[in-house]
Chains A and B, each alone.
Chain A
Amino acid sequence: MITDKEIIQFIKLKDEQGLRLLYKHYSNSLFGISYRVLNNEAFAEDALQQSFLKIWNNVDQYDSDKSILFTWMSNIVRNTAIDIRRLKSFEKESKTISIEPNVYKGEVVSDDHSKMDIDYLLSKVDEKYSIILEHLYLKGYSQSELAEKLDLPIGTIKTRVKKAIDLLRDHLRGEEKTFLGMFSWITLINILILLLWIYVK
């Protein structure tokens, strides 16, 4: 598995391989953000293209001590898409249309169970948290815009942001524990088999 550090090294050396790897690993997630901000396929492609160019040219500004690579890139994509939205002056229309990714001709990518679990956790268990993250993180709304749209006090929006992220983090921590639990059981069984084999010998 190629690490983010290796991808960054390729890009710093201006090696095309870095760009290919970056696209392979992150294009779906980044395009998901771009598309939801703009609600228009051609503009979303344009935003992603501009963003990759910015990432390529400004990779030296990325500080791994402050953020993971995806956070840095997703900020570039979201800001680029918001700039295009302002430029194209179709903000009002796009915000009033409910975006349903399944109707888009591209595929919604959700290729492992943990991702589907997150989807379930946020959209089925408590939609009031899901909608907050969707608008602030994926669609590029400000807190005040969202408060107005949902007719909620801004304090409630802030509380729900924290709750939504706490739910996500708890869920991911739970997955790690389950994995470690399984790992320790497998290790224990292996040790027992080994002891049994030594005893029989």
Chain B
Amino acid sequence: MDIREVRESGLLEQYVLGLLSEVEQKQVESYLSEYPELKSDIFSIQGALQKYAETYGIQPKPLLEGKILEEIRSRGGITNNSAIGDKTKSNNINLWSGLTVLLGLVALGTLWYSYKLIDENKDLKSTIKETILACDSVDQINKTYIKYYESMLSFETTKLDFTPTKGYPEVGLKFYYNPTQKENFIQINNLPVIDSNHTFQLWSLKEGEAPIPLDLFTGQKGAVLPVKFIDGTKTYAITIEKAGGVESPTLDRLIGTVGV
């Protein structure tokens, strides 16, 4: 088939939908190698189907996100949390460590060259490449946090203080509220000490409606967390709940509120 026939055959659409047999899939892959410009057709079909899926998206229950996070945490899959202060520090340490390792590896490489150990030199090059990739990754993360800060410092953002409730005078939390961009952030100054079976849970309160459960979080001093924005919210509140979150707030464990 020439490229026009491939495009008109409908094979590309069925390939993206996963409807082809193994033989047919290999056939399409050989067309993709033969006509690299077909790759843009594949991405265009995938993009169209993504739009279609977005059209028919369904919002899952708010607590599902917490359940998924808990599940992955419980399997030890998460190696760090979102505490931005610690992150920046550790990123800097990682960066310097990375550079030090890089220099060390370069020195080693020179030594290996002097002994003409060409095979091992190949391994070294690969390690350097991986280190550079790791540095790039750290750089990407720093850029994301810079975006958070830019949003928090925007003129459209209002900085508010959570008002602690009677039983929790030590609570110190800043709330960054941006109704234009529909973004909220919480900055942690001080929180009550809780054990690993409990978590902090954010709530959206609207007049005449039941509280809407939002993000679950734990965090250290200085941490900045992006949290959900809900249209029409009058007050955001934080309670202490059992790990994994709950559907209705435990009012005697309400630690603070902020009106928006």
Contacts and interface: CB of A to CB of B under 8 A. Distances in A.
Specify whether A and B are partners: yes
Interface of A: 2, 5-6, 9-10, 12-17, 19-20, 23, 27-33, 35-36, 44-45, 48-49, 52-53, 56-57, 67-68, 70-71, 74-75, 101, 104, 106-110, 114-116, 118-119, 122, 133-134, 136-138, 142-143, 158-159, 161-162, 165, 168-169, 172
Contacts of B3: none
A16 B59 contact: no
Report, as a range, how many residues of chain B touch the other chain: 35 or more
B142 to A, nearest CB: 11
Given A68-B43, A136-B19, A172 B10 contact: no
A136 B17 contact: yes
A97 to B, nearest CB: 16
B61 A106 contact: yes
A68 B47 contact: yes
Given A23-B65, A158-B10, A138 B58 contact: no
Tell me whether chain B's interface is mostly helix, strand or loop, or mixed.
helix
Nearest to B53: A29
Nearest to A3: B140
B16 A108 contact: no
A74 B46 CA distance: 10
19 contacts: A9-B141, A16-B78, A28-B58, A29-B50, A33-B53, A35-B58, A45-B64, A49-B64, A53-B72, A56-B72, A107-B59, A122-B52, A133-B52, A137-B49, A159-B10, A168-B49, A168-B52, A169-B44, A169-B45
B19 A106 contact: no
A179 to B, nearest CB: 15
Contacts of A70: 46, 50, 53
B10 A118 contact: no
Contact of B72 (A52, A115, A162): A52
A161 B13 contact: yes
Given A28-B60, A169-B45, A138 B53 contact: yes
Given A14-B79, A17-B144, A52-B68, A31 B58 contact: yes
A114 B65 contact: no
Contact of B82 (A16, A106, A110, A162): A16
Contacts of A119: 55-56
Contact of A12 (B10, B56, B67, B137): B137
B210 interface: no
Contact of B69 (A16, A134, A142): A16
Given A32-B53, A53-B72, A71-B16, A108 B58 contact: yes
Given A70-B46, A75-B18, A162-B10, A106 B60 contact: yes
